[in-house]
Structures are given as C-alpha cells and as structure tokens.
Amino acid sequence: MILGQNEKTAFSILTTVWLSICTHASSKYAEFFIADFSRAGDIWATLLPKLHEIFPHTATLARQRDFGNLVSQVNNILDQRIDNSDLAERRIFFILAGLHRARELRDTDQYGSLGETAQIFGKICREGPDLGIHVISWCDTFGNLARLVDRRTISEFDLRIAMKMGEDDSNQFIESPKAKALGQNRAYLFDQNQIGKIEKFRPYELISESELEEIQTSFGDKE
C-alpha cells in the first residue's frame, strides 16, 4: 500500500513496481488487473496505457467507470482458486492507481455497512495473497483509506510506502511519526513483518518517453 498526496510520485512508484514485476516474472506466470484513476490532463495520465501496450504480460486496464467490473473479475478468479488451489501457480496482481477515487467503495447498505464492492475488495485483500492474488494500491490519505476499507483489511498490507504526511496519518500507517518530516522526493518503506524497521528511499522519477522506447526495445528483444 502506498500512501501520500504526491500523485506524481505515487504513479512513479506504481509504474516502477509494475515494470519490476514484468521484468522478473514470465508472462506465463503473471497477469495484471489495473484500475487507472488518473485524470485527463495529468502528465502521467497516458503512462499506464503505454506500458500496457509494451508489456507482453496479460493485463486488463480499466478506468474509473469500469472499476466495479474489474473487482468482479478478480473476485471470480479468487473464488475459482478457493475451490481449486492448484490454479494459484499464475500470479495475479491487482494494481489500483488512486483508491480514494473509487466511488463504488464509498457505497454503503441501508444499515451504513460497507457496500457490496467494498466487501468484495476486502475479501480479495484478505484471502488473495495465500492464493497468489496480490493488491498493490495508492491512496492519498489515511483518513480516506479508513473510510474505504475496514481496519482489518488495512492490516493485511504488510508492505507499506509512506510519502510525506501528517503526524497522525504517519503514526497510524507506519507506526511512527517519521513521515511528517519527509521531503517531497523521499519516502519510507515499512515492513510490518520486521518490527521497528523503516527504510528511507528516493523514488525514481516518472518514466520518460525515451525510457519507454528503451523498455519497448528490451521487451521486444525477449519475445
């Protein structure tokens, strides 16, 4: 889970993660479902679609209006694997670039409980990893994250990246106030399985057009 309000940095981290997985995992053993919540006019708005065209891996890229359908597709795969764990050899990566813009996750039922899409998303986060389904997401603030998913689901994200944020958000997200003092070009990596270990790093810049050409050539050479 990536948390912070610097959208450019968030997209840089997400695309770097996607590129890294595609570089190290064969297209036979990795499949992607990507929810792109970027806004028209942002300089990174075309980045995920361009990478989608370059990578040889099977990938489904959806915009905001198709988010509910994308969640259903991933949930169908999860249900199949619950019935037959032998299907889990192929890794599924569910990438959400802008979780706080997923309107379906804000829906509630008549009793004020989480709506159907939010419940399904929580199920994917909780039960997916053991069956080869992994969620990689960016949200802007901890407050929005807590409104969209319950605490139990948040706790399922063992690996967390924190950009600059308020002290309260930092304490709740990485169990330390350190993210309050971060510069704009720095972030912390927090591993919930390694108590007390927080590593500062400098995220890469957004992938440039020339780098996209190099990536395209690299994957073309591997085919």
What would the pLDDT profile of 138-179 be if each residue is shown by its tens digit?
999 999 999 888 888 899 999 999 999 999 999 999 999 999
* Within-domain flag for 81: yes
- Cross-strand pairs, 137: 96
Query: Would 136 be classed as within a structural domain?
Result: yes
Specify if 43 maps to a domain: yes
Quote the domain boundaries for residue 94: 2-155+204-222
175 inside domain: no
What are the two backbone dihedrals, phi and then psi, of residue 91, each rounded to the nearest 5 degrees? Answer: -80, 135
Token readout for 169 is: 């958000």
**Which pTM was predicted?**
0.93
The CATH number of the domain holding residue 84 is 3.40.50.300
CA dist 209 → 20, 70, 98, 179 (Å): 18, 28, 23, 31
Report residue 61 as tokens. 């890229």
3-state helix, strand, coil in the chain (%, to 5): 50, 20, 30
Domain count, the chain: 1
Per-residue pLDDT of 46-57, as tens digits, reads: 999 999 999 999
| Bridge partner list, 91 | 30
Q: Is residue 110 classed as helix, strand or coil in its secondary structure?
A: coil
